[in-house]
Amino acid sequence: MRTVQRKAQEVAARERMFVGLALEMVKRVGFHNLTLGKLATEAGYSKGTVYNHFTCREDLLIELSTENARQQLRYYQAVADLPLGGVSALYALALAYLRHAEVSPVLFESSITARTEAVCALASEERMRRRDLVESQMAQVVSSVVDRTVTERAFDNAHLTPDVAVDALRSSILGYAATHLLSERFLWSTERDAESQLLTLAAMVHGLGWPYLGLDELRALQRTVVGVVDGSPSDVYVG
């Protein structure tokens, strides 16, 4: 292997290590205590080495949110590839989002934190571009599933287009997940609470123009989605 290629691989591996360690630090001390200096100390590297990878703390936060998007993309593609009708696949995507937020709370929260103007104003354009690319790929997967529901004539809303409806659904699920998952007192701790989660999702999807799925079908979909999401390590940076 040529020296240049080996060097690039070493740099990439070190960056993955930094991001994985940053996730562990956030779990222990929270986002507000994550600094590049503390990261360098924990990793056993100089500050200069860490700054060679991340120009500022905000760059690191953007990279955490990018890894969140990478994991979601894997789940979304796996769900979209399942032998499901369009409506069931749409529900499954929503359930995958919620499950990911539940099992990878640090990454989920990073995706919200990294959207703030304070972070975006300081992060590098290159980091932002990488995240936007992954998120555009996610959007393509979602659009393919929505198009499937339209082809199957399973969308009926005289006031909204499918694109607007799915954007509203995405926003609703984000708010619901943030409300109930970014607190240790989130709702879904009992069987009855888990049922409420499914019924709430069905009400949101149906209200926007797609068919309402019954509780038994939703439970079956949820079991499938849990298998997809939990089949990969959560909160582990994989590059």
Distance, in Å, from the CA atom of 202 to the CA atom of 88, rounded to the nearest integer, reads 11
Flag whether 18 is in a domain.
no
Distance, in Å, from the CA atom of 28 to the CA atom of 98, rounded to the nearest integer, reads 23
Report yes or no: 235 and 111 within 8 Å, Cβ to Cβ: no
Tens of pLDDT along the chain (239 residues) come to 577 788 888 888 999 999 999 999 988 888 888 999 999 999 999 999 999 999 999 999 999 999 999 999 999 999 999 999 999 999 999 999 999 988 888 889 888 989 999 999 999 999 999 999 999 999 999 999 999 999 999 999 999 999 999 999 999 999 888 877 666 555 455 566 778 889 999 999 999 999 999 999 999 999 999 999 998 544 443 33
What is the CA 85 to chain-centroid distance, rounded? 23
Residue matched to tokens 């298998």: 227
Q: What is the DSSP track for 57-114?
A: HHHHHHHHHHHHHHHHHHHHHHHHTSS--HHHHHHHHHHHHHHHHHH-HHHHHHHHHT
Residue-range definition of the domain harbouring residue 83: 73-103+131-230
Number of domains into which the chain is organized = 1
Flag whether 116 is in a domain.
no
The model carries a pTM of: 0.87
Report yes or no: 182 and 202 within 8 Å, Cβ to Cβ: no
Flag whether 36 is in a domain.
no
Flag whether 56 is in a domain.
no
